[in-house]
Chains A and B, each alone.
Chain A
């Protein structure tokens, strides 16, 4: 798993059925990457639903958040609509898990992303990373502390 002070590998992934996002386009703002195993986990403890409530706080630090899983762009669209998400979910779908593998957070046995967080500064350098036990939603306190350190 990549860690502090390493360059965040660039990627281009679908964010909507017809739009892609590249990490390199985002230089100039901080980026939070939240790798997670799968869409459609239970509602009240859902990590993406939690971050969805916190967008205003992330914005204060000029940070953009992206969820990443191996689900397809159509699955992400349905999930996103169902949870009323206001931030992009990226589809690490083809080749499957390629980006997760670059970041060292792919779970081969399940064929899913591990539950991992990266905070990347505006120059594209990782300032904080965290691997969470898969069954545990890591919350946002670590992200906020990392964003604060950027100031």
Chain B
């Protein structure tokens, strides 16, 4: 299964923008498996970030994770001020504390305009279009990874192991 649509200028990118290896994660800020994957991905990016263009798309399962969508919107709000990855990291690192107050506090700490968090259509649309992209690309749970546009059947540990084996 392939990634639809392909990565474009609306995506959040870290690592090396010009890298030929492109990894896309579909994730949910309240999903414990995504939370567990986060430190592994951080380590992977420290080691291989110079070779990887890493993209995150939102795939919040709102019905089972009540703070997944508000958290995604908070990260998208931060993105408008070029602080996406800082807030993204903070959300996963403090996942167990997710609550409405926590999100407001986080926004305040990072000096993100809180007014944006409420009913901002552009941010909601970004989260929706990420989710729709996941649906169309065959995402069946989180986290799901795509390597150069092709679905990877494995988790963060497998992904990291693959990169290590390729680099030897």
Contact between chains at A136 and B140 (CB < 8 Å): yes
Contact between chains at B140 and A44 (CB < 8 Å): no
Report the tally of A-B residue pairs with Cβ distances under 8 A.
52
Residues of chain A touching chain B, judged by Cβ–Cβ distance below 8 Å, are 43-47, 49-50, 52-54, 57, 83-86, 136-142, 144
Chain A binder among B58-66, B78-86, B92-100, B107-115? B58-66
Q: Could you say which of A50, A54, A83, A138 has the most chain B C-beta atoms within 10 Å of its C-beta?
A: A50
Chain B residue contacts of A50, Cβ below 8 A: 61, 140-141
Return the CB mask of B127-164 against A: 1 if under 8 Å, else 0. Answer: 00001100111111110000000000000000000000
Contact between chains at B138 and A139 (CB < 8 Å): yes
Contact between chains at B141 and A83 (CB < 8 Å): no
The residue of chain A having its C-beta at the shortest distance from the C-beta of B134 within the complex is A139
Indicate whether A44 sits within 8 Å of B33 (C-beta atoms), given known contacts A57-B135, A139-B139, A141-B135: yes
Contact between chains at A47 and B140 (CB < 8 Å): yes
The residue of chain B having its C-beta at the shortest distance from the C-beta of A140 within the complex is B135
Indicate whether A49 sits within 8 Å of B135 (C-beta atoms), given known contacts A44-B32, A137-B140, A137-B141: no
Chain A residue contacts of B141, Cβ below 8 A: 44-46, 50, 137
B61 to chain A, nearest CB (A): 6
Residues of B in contact, count (CB < 8 Å): 19
17 A-B pairs within 8 Å (CB atoms) are namely A43-B64, A44-B61, A49-B64, A50-B61, A53-B62, A57-B132, A83-B64, A84-B63, A85-B63, A86-B63, A139-B1, A139-B138, A139-B140, A140-B135, A140-B138, A141-B138, A144-B136
Classify the secondary structure of A's interface with B.
Answer: loop
Contact between chains at A49 and B139 (CB < 8 Å): no
Chain A residue contacts of B62, Cβ below 8 A: 53
Contact between chains at B139 and A53 (CB < 8 Å): no
Indicate whether A52 sits within 8 Å of B63 (C-beta atoms), given known contacts A44-B142, A137-B140: yes
The residue of chain B having its C-beta at the shortest distance from the C-beta of A47 within the complex is B140
Bound form: Cα–Cα A86–B64 in Å: 12
B31 interfacial contact with A, CB 8 Å: yes
Per the 8 Å Cβ criterion, residues 19-59 of B in contact with A are 28, 31-33
Contact between chains at A49 and B63 (CB < 8 Å): yes
Bound form: Cα–Cα A144–B64 in Å: 22
